[in-house]
Amino acid sequence: MTKQETAARPQIVVRRIPFSFDEGVNPVWHPTQHEWAHMFNGASLTMPFLEPFLIKTVREAIKHVDDEALKEEVNGFMGQEGAHYKNHRRLNEILKQHYPELAEVEAEMAEDYARFQSKSLRWRLAYTAGFETMTMGVTEWLIADRSKLFSGADASVVSLILWHMVEETEHKNVAYDLYMHMYGDYWHKVWGLLCGSWHVAWSSRKAYIRMLKRDGRWNRIGSRLKVWSLVGQFLIKAGPAMIRSILPGYHPMKVKDPEWIAQWANAYEGLPEGRIPLLDTKNKDIPAQFA
């Protein structure tokens, strides 16, 4: 890393935002995109299992690190991830009131991550760095296409999603730097990207299939085509970010962040203490300003 790159590293701000989801929130939080809503719901269900696993992994790894700047960034990473999964858990509890079968998926994920916890630190850190790399592509997709994906949807859910994406961008370097600092093995890094991305996507899929089945949509051709269309969009939009991450000379810091990220962070700084940063989803452009 050059001095210029180091100076330009994003500030990792731990925001203790308590999103309050009305008990009456519709699980199909986007009135015109049923499948998209449930695909995100499936991803949300993974967070209270995935993110504690990531936190435990980097907390163990940091014991072997002498670099104080990296330690500080890892602490910021843990703070942000902890806030994320607690808010997702609030939403997930509401989802399970409508879809009790989601508890089956949670039980499977609990078993998966308990098993993963017994694997080597190198394995777990590669998984962590790989998943975090994938989220960069997801962030670019969701923010670039936010009008198409979120316009007219429930403001509380959309605000949770995009806040999460902002902070994923702020700590985008941390897991990668920690892995490279401790191991730096190329093939483990590639494997971690594939394994971490696939495992979370597969767990999410188990959840959204159950929700779509209960809603009577999974066996409809139109519904299935919408799902595959969204999977295709993910591969087209997020895929390039994953491919570039395995190229020689790659570092997350070299990837330019969407301007909307900085606009969101600046708008949040101007909020009175205790305010939840709710975006205006009635505005088609969903600007980075809060109601």
For the stretch 42-100, pLDDT in tens is: 999 999 999 999 999 999 999 999 999 999 999 999 999 999 999 999 999 999 999 99
Domains and CATH numbers, the chain: 31-269 (1.10.620)
Closest by CA position to 59, among listed 83, 76, 75? 75
Closest by CA position to 213, among listed 205, 234, 230, 153? 205
Q: What is the pLDDT of residue 12?
A: 93
For the stretch 124-139, pLDDT in tens is: 999 999 999 999 999 9
Q: Is the per-residue pLDDT at 20 higher than 90?
A: no
What is the C-alpha to C-alpha distance for residues 171 and 175, in angstroms, rounded to an integer? 8
Closest by CA position to 147, among listed 35, 223, 33, 226? 33
Q: Is the per-residue pLDDT at 1 higher than 60?
A: no
Give the percent of the chain with pLDDT over 70.
Answer: 96
Q: What is the pLDDT of residue 8?
A: 57
Structure tokens given for 135? 């989220």
Burial of residue 187 (number of CB atoms within 10 Å: 0-12, 13-18, 19+): exposed
